[in-house]
Structure 1
Amino acid sequence: MRPSVSFSVTYVLCLCLGLLCLLSVSCWSSWWRGGFSRDGSALQFNWHPVLMASGLVVLCGHAVLVYRVPLTWKQKKHTWKLLHAGLMLLALLVSVLGHIPDLYSLHSWVGICTVLMFTVQLVLGLAGFLLPCSPLWLRSTLKPVHVWMGKAILILSLTSCVSGINEKLFFALNGSSGEPYNSLPAEFANSLCVLIVAFGSVVFGVLSRSKWQRPETDGESDHLLSEIGT
């Protein structure tokens, strides 16, 4: 099925915003925050925002849009289930690599809850929708839960990233707290947060359009999933 002009423009916008998010968080950590390191120094922290934004926001956002591309609607759904699961698994692995366990701030709690919820979602999704032996009642029960958890994870991911960037900016400018606001050094962090929010808004905009949802054919109904392997 040929995608509509409105979907094509929106999807290209989503791709561009995702790329801008990756470039922006990398530039911010590299130029404004001093670069990267793996030697245990303070610069090692700069991997954290890059990996978390890449995994929890960009990869996760594109993973939830896999089924929305009309060009895939006439193809077997099982192929795109594998791609969806693969992107989600990659997003989780990247997030785990960038995760810094601590419990001293609200950002930390939101981040930990997001990663834990992401893990549960991935395990339930693999067990419920990719294993041929999973019963049909389990799939039909998990489907609305799976959709809800996916949206909740993306919201938590956006919240975690924006609050984390704001927290890092607060700590970085703490030594300048006695200076007038207009004399503080220029930072790219606010623009980065705007890009992240814009990316998430476009993703949710795509998800909110029912006409951009993959139509369920008879061969892909929940009652025949285990029999035809879609």
Structure 2
Amino acid sequence: MTSTLALSRPTYGESVERLRHAQKSAKGAPAYSRFVNRPLGRRLAALAHVAGLTPNQVTALSAAATASAIAVLVLAPSEWWKGLVVAPLLALGYALDAADGQLARLRGGGTKAGEWFDHVVDAAKTSCLHLGVAVGAYLTFDPRPEAWLLVPLVFAAVASTWFFTIILNDHLRRLAGTRDVQATVASGEARQHSALRSLASSPVDYGVLCLLFLLVGAPVVFVWGYTLLAAGFVAVTAASMVAWFRQISTLDGAAA
């Protein structure tokens, strides 16, 4: 006899279709996040919904995937297969990070505790991944690039500042009542935003960083690629800080 619970449980297809019409705005979203990570997160959210998982459980799975990638990055020798393990685990963690919020929308909305947990995990991975690069390079790269170890340390500092500023911007806009809400949108709305702008944000796209780790088994190539990405991240961050300061400065006038 079919149970009432089984009858009421949504199907995978129903969940995916509901999420097609309940997406964040694509405004300002980098290319990988917009075109790869969100669609993948949507499908993982639908699977989690069918399985009866909570958003916090999906966040915990995201943390576990990212932590596993960092452990391999630090401890595994620099062989050809290393990137084939690290990059997919990081990408999975990122996709699950997109899925937890989408799952919350499927279940009728998130909670403050869930938002807190999600941000704490994001803050931890933002710094720990780059610190893992520094430790892993020190332990496994041959020859050991001692002077270069400053690059991931700088990357960690700038990436942490970038993440904190994004959260702070959102908080201040909420307080001012002028938050540019990442509201749910119709499925066609994403196409209204420039793909070129998304591509221009590639240096700060976490998905691009995930893909870069495919090269970690070839240390010389990885060092060059990582250094170029770090330089791009610093440049975009500097420009963004100027723009954000001007935007936040206008909130004082709006509140007056």
- Taking structure 2 as the reference length, what is the TM-score of the superposition? 0.32
